[in-house]
Structure 1
Amino acid sequence: MRKVIHALLGILAASTLLFSEAQSRGMKLTMYADGHSCPGDCDAHVVMNAEDNGSRFAFAPDSSRSAPADCRNGQQCRICFGEGDDSCMPALYRGGGPPAGTFDFTPAFYDATCGRTDIPAALARKCAELDRAVQSRDGGVSYADRINCFKEPTNPRCVEVMAKAEADKAADQPKRQQCLALGEERYNAQQPSAEKRSEGCNYSRERRGGPNSSGLTWRVLLPAACPSGSFVGRDGLDCCSESVRFAAAIKPECSRFFLRP
């Protein structure tokens, strides 16, 4: 499903902070968190297009840039953001997903690396970009100054928002569990079109998202796909959590949980 979602996000990239050029010729850096669809419980990892795996930009540590071998799922991978060897670093590889030319990282990856001083310059620039997004007063109030409903669920402004998100997830949980128990094919055979599920029972089968300004629609992430401590975002693209950096990077997806004072 990440291939579908990121193909759409690639088109939307001009209007978001999700994408940044690593170097004049290199890889783009993005961020995602789609709950139970996210491999490794969304630990600190990277996913990439199959075209990039086994290239001079991503290769198994026991190979080289001049003779690259494929990175193996669930193992360390040597990733390079640009042409220079000083743009390389190790990262846990968790499989495929985004368009070619893109490294898609989890929020946990940025949390684990952005405070370090030994990361490649391209990643340091992306971290700085993400931090600027948190402080940006786009719309008058920065995300740093907004009410974080994940951290303040009893705030009077947040109570109704969080209660609805909890209710939506609770209502969807038995549907997801039944889908997992029966398998998508058997489950969907018993459901009307609007209730059919896909991608490991985590997404709608119908393209219920959108249309956006380009007329595109997409399958939406469903409420029960988001694990404890997170809820699906406005457009069904990702799971929102208390991470301000993630919310600011993918705005306005998580804006209903980050309220202006």
Structure 2
Amino acid sequence: MSLSRRAKLAWTVVGGVVIAVAIAGVAVLFAFRDTATTLDEEQVGLTVITGGGQPGDYGLYVYATTGYESTDALAGTRHDYPPETYLTIQPGGCGTLVRWQPLEQRYEEWDYCDDGRMAGWDSHQEWFQVANTDEWRCPEPVQTQGEPGESWTIRCARAETGNAAAATEVDSYEVVGFETLTVAGEEVETLHVRTTIAGTGGSASTGQHDTWYLVGTHLPVRRVVVHDSTTDTRIGAVQYHEEAEINLTSLIPRG
């Protein structure tokens, strides 16, 4: 075989390999394509149990929303939150479950006992069609509200899952004070609580969550969140960022 024919054959083989790799890459990206699906009120409220119709009762609440979450996993992606999201207050768990769900692929759910303390919370994300729910549990129910000027620290843990290593989170609570906010033209008294996040172990996390609760209830009137974490996963260290603000649009639950 002449040198020129050998060179042509070599380039043909190389070209075939490049094409095969490109096709494989496209197939992988297609198989793991990411989606962010918004939910409407009917979907969220389909199974909601309603209470007496008063602020803080069981039911569905609507929030004006800004924000997003992002990750650097695989090629990296971002989920923008819709301008209207929903929170439900329902019986369950230790007594009452409060869930905010901006997307089908994202929710945060807090489990409150009848005495007002929190037993733990679940944090759910789905990226590239791989779902993961972090179940954070506290050794005993913890205080999340108090009197202005009070501060305290809680320690809760997440067991190892198929997608993430075990981790511990130490949250520092500070009751900033009573503040008046406006909801649908009506002034309401709220209790402003600030939580500073410090996670160790399988998730190194930092963040600040400010929540304005309707006094005497678990209902957030306003909530501002900034959260960053690096988590040990099956595909290596994955960085996550979330920032969001939600504001209640009506004190009366729907459903």
TM-score bracket, shorter-length normalisation: under 0.3
TM-score using structure 2 length? 0.22
Higher strand share: 2
TM-score by length of 1: 0.22
In proportion to residue count, which structure has more helix? 1
Bigger relative contact order, structure 1 or 2, given CA contacts below 8 A and separation 6+?
1
